[in-house]
Chains A and B, each alone.
Chain A
Amino acid sequence: SLDKAELCDSLLTWLQTFQVPSCNSKYDLTSGVAIAHVLHRIDPSWFNETWLGRIKEESGANWRLKVSNLKKILKSMLEYYHDVLGHQVSDEHLPDVNLIGEMGDITELGKLVQLVLGCAVSCEKKQEQIQQIMTLEESVQHVVMTAIQELLSKEPS
């Protein structure tokens, strides 16, 4: 399956196409701020302004605030998968947000961003999202394709 560091690098490149704050490095992503802004772009009715307002922008080096942000993000995403997409996320794709917030764990971060990707290619505005992905470098597109296949295939891999 996918090399998690390569997955993270490619998905960071994809996230940067949204041009949201705090999205310059993998470490930046661990605060959850960029991911929350991307989700708000993907589906502003579900991940709405009120929800976005609960994400602490100044989490910086405070790992407890980061973990708190990441928990809110993961909870809302899983509800989105269930209520909007009608898709059950398998256990192997569930990230440990404590490891992300506290240790900056790349493997768990890759899983979290992989879930964001799944929202993007399945939501109401997926046409726009997929076309944006198709403008990326071919090598990045390949990793993105594999990540989608891995996440959204019926049987756990």
Chain B
Amino acid sequence: DPNMKAGAANEGVLANFFNSLLSKKTGAPG
């Protein structure tokens, strides 16, 4: 089901982004 795949891909994008924010040194937003 393409919608399911799109949903999963979306979640992946979000998780990757927020996890990358978490791994950044505190106080270094850029």
Partner of B18, one of A124, A133, A152: A133
**Complex Cα distance A121/B26, Å?**
9
* B29 partner residues in chain A, CB cutoff 8 A: 85, 87, 118, 121-122, 152
Mask, B1-30, CB within 8 Å of A = 1, is: 000000100110111011001101011111
Total residue contacts A-B, CB cutoff 8 A: 50
Q: How large is the interface on A (under 10, 10 to 19, 20 to 34, 35 or more residues)?
A: 20 to 34
**Chain B at the A interface: mostly helix, strand, loop or mixed?**
helix
Q: Answer whether residue A138 sits at the interface, using C-beta atoms and an 8 A cutoff.
A: yes
Query: 17 additional contacts, CB 8 Å, given A130-B18, A145-B13?
Result: A85-B28, A85-B29, A121-B21, A122-B24, A122-B26, A122-B29, A126-B22, A126-B26, A134-B14, A134-B15, A134-B18, A138-B7, A141-B14, A142-B14, A152-B29, A152-B30, A153-B30
